């Protein structure tokens, strides 16, 4: 946290983009200027002014200040970071644009949160900036949107309930992307393309994507967890089929990093996996096969340079294009987290459910990032950590679930009964 009073409580950096605009709209609708001093930042003055004018319509805000800068101009980023207590950034791909802002925030001792799902870039910031962020007592919190808040905070809810109720944490959690509907923007697909690009060029990135513990602290990048499910599989806890989850590579690593950052409260042998449930019987098996085949084919195609370039150029929408505000408001999602533990030789199962009636990648993500920023601003956390390159569960923990419930999310936790034996 900054040790001096700043001009702004929070800056939404990248406010002219699809996600950034939704974050700014959410914050100005949810909070009034007495509760939050907010500024919006970006590189295009005209578009920022138009957005600032829109944000004041029908809201209690007379004015939303504008901060101009450029992600490639470190001086402008240092000025922005020094003017605020918290930066919420949606300027991606983060591999391309993210690093100078992380550096600027650590220099200025400004807390930071983002929406990155780029495992390779998180690994870079962990290796380059974790120690400096600890030293500066500055929280750099990655992956504060749909990846990876439901998985990470859902796991934190499960483990906190298990420890309070049974006196021990769960040895394993399984995350199910149950249901959802919502759009994908050009910005997200550009970030996805950047990840494949980096993997094609850099062996460290390839190793990062293969090692399930690649986001753990250096020296702790080994463990019992085998990593993502890659094939259709009958679920060990529920009587149905499951397919690989496209978000497992980021979500599972973030959850493992949370455990490591917090000092392994869930055990050194803690395991986590994320899957997409596809139903029972032949139809469930066929759907799981189709999802696994589709993901495998997509990865194979994106791994071939000329095909990747063609898809990025002709198939993906351009950055800045995205779901309409109607689509972001109309979507929904449900993520379930099942934790399995044992106490006095008796197995128990804990279930958390996390969901919302907004599109997961935009309407819901904007609220998740905005509320993460508010937790940082108000120091509303149950975390012992005051700095570092962190995850939502390690930086904030279950208070984020409380805040999200208060703005309309479902976040429940309790004992699950009648689960099958593993």
Ligand X SMILES: NC(=O)c1ccc[n+]([C@@H]2O[C@H](COP(=O)([O-])OP(=O)(O)OC[C@H]3O[C@@H](n4cnc5c(N)ncnc54)[C@H](OP(=O)(O)O)[C@@H]3O)[C@@H](O)[C@H]2O)c1
Output the smallest distance, CB 292 to ligand X, in A: 22
Contact between 388 and ligand X per CB under 6 A: no
CB 39 within 8 A of CB 66: yes
CB 214 within 8 A of CB 119: yes
The correct pick among 93, 212, 227, 232 for binding ligand X (CB under 6 A) is 93
End-to-end CA distance of the chain: 44
Contact between 196 and ligand X per CB under 6 A: no
CB 353 within 8 A of CB 99: no
Binding segment for ligand X (CB under 6 A), chosen from 65-73, 79-87, 155-163, 349-357, is 65-73
- In 3D, which of 151, 135, 134, 131 has the Cα closest to residue 143? 151
Sites for ligand X among residues 349-378 (CB under 6 A): 361, 365
Half-sphere exposure of residue 412: CA atoms within 13 angstroms, side-chain side: 10
Contact between 91 and ligand X per CB under 6 A: yes
Contact between 112 and ligand X per CB under 6 A: no
Cβ-based nearer residue to ligand X, 175 or 285: 175
Contact between 227 and ligand X per CB under 6 A: no
The correct pick among 28, 83, 84, 90 for binding ligand X (CB under 6 A) is 90
Cβ-based nearer residue to ligand X, 95 or 160: 95
The correct pick among 83, 84, 185, 259 for binding ligand X (CB under 6 A) is 185
* Cis peptide bond prior to 245, omega within 30° of 0: no
Contact between 213 and ligand X per CB under 6 A: no
Quote the tokens at residue 333: 């999602």
Binding mask 306-345 for ligand X (x = CB under 6 A): -------------xx-x-----------------------
Cβ-based nearer residue to ligand X, 162 or 198: 198
Contact between 121 and ligand X per CB under 6 A: no
Contact between 232 and ligand X per CB under 6 A: no
Written as one string, the DSSP assignment of 244-307 is: E-TTHHHHHHHHHHHHHHTTSTT-TT-EEEEEEEEESHHHHHHHHHHHHHHHHHHHHHHTSHHH
Count of CB atoms situated within 10 Å of the CB of 297: 10
Contact between 161 and ligand X per CB under 6 A: no
Question: Looking up tokens 């934790």, which residue turns up?
Answer: 339
Binding mask 20-59 for ligand X (x = CB under 6 A): x---------------------xxx--x------------
Full strand arrangement of the beta sheet holding 111-114 = 66-68, 38-42, 8-13, 84-89, 111-114, 139-141, 388-390
Task: Give the residues lining the site for ligand X (CB under 6 A).
Answer: 14, 16-20, 42-44, 47, 70-72, 90-94, 97, 115, 117, 145-147, 185-188, 191, 319-320, 322, 361, 365
């Amino acid at each position: 946290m900054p040790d001096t009073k700043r001009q702004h409580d929070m800056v939404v950096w990248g406010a002219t983009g699809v996600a950034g605009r939704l974050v700014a709209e959410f914050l100005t609708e949810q909070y009034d200027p007495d509760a939050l001093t907010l500024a919006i930042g970006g590189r295009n003055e005209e578009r920022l002014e138009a957005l600032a004018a829109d944000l004041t319509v029908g809201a209690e805000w007379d004015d939303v200040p504008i901060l101009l800068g450029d992600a490639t101009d470190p001086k402008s980023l240092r000025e922005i970071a020094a003017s605020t207590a918290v930066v919420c950034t949606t300027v991606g791909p983060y591999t391309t644009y993210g690093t100078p802002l992380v550096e600027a925030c650590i220099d200025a001792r400004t807390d930071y949160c983002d929406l990155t799902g780029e495992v390779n870039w998180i690994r870079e910031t962990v290796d380059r900036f974790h120690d400096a962020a600890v030293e500066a007592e500055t929280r750099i919190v990655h992956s504060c949107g749909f990846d990876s808040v439901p998985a990470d905070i859902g796991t934190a809810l499960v483990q906190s309930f298990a420890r309070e109720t049974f006196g021990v944490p769960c040895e394993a959690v399984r995350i199910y992307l149950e249901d959802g509907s919502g759009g994908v923007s050009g910005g997200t697909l550009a970030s996805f393309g950047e990840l494949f690009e980096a993997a094609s060029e850099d062996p460290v990135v390839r190793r990062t994507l293969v090692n399930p513990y690649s986001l753990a602290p250096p020296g702790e990048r080994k463990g019992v967890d085998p990593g993502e499910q890659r094939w259709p599989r009958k679920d060990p806890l529920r009587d149905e089929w499951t397919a690989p989850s496209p978000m497992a590579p980021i979500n599972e690593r973030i959850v493992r990093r949370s455990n490591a950052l917090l000092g392994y409260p869930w055990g050194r042998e803690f395991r986590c996996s994320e899957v997409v449930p596809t139903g029972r019987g032949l139809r469930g098996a066929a759907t799981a096969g189709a999802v696994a085949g589709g993901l495998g084919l997509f990865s194979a195609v994106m791994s071939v340079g000329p095909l990747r370039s063609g898809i990025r150029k002709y198939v993906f929408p351009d950055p800045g294009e995205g779901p309409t505000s109607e689509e972001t408001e109309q979507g929904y999602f449900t993520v379930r987290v099942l934790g399995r533990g044992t106490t006095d030789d008796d197995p128990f199962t804990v279930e958390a459910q996390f969901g919302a009636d907004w599109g997961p990648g935009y309407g819901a993500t904007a609220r998740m990032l905005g509320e993460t920023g508010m937790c940082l601003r108000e120091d509303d956390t149950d975390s012992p950590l005051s700095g570092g390159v962190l995850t939502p569960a390690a930086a904030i923990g279950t208070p984020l679930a409380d805040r999200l419930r208060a703005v309309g999310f479902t976040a429940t936790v309790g004992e699950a009964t009648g689960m099958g034996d593993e």
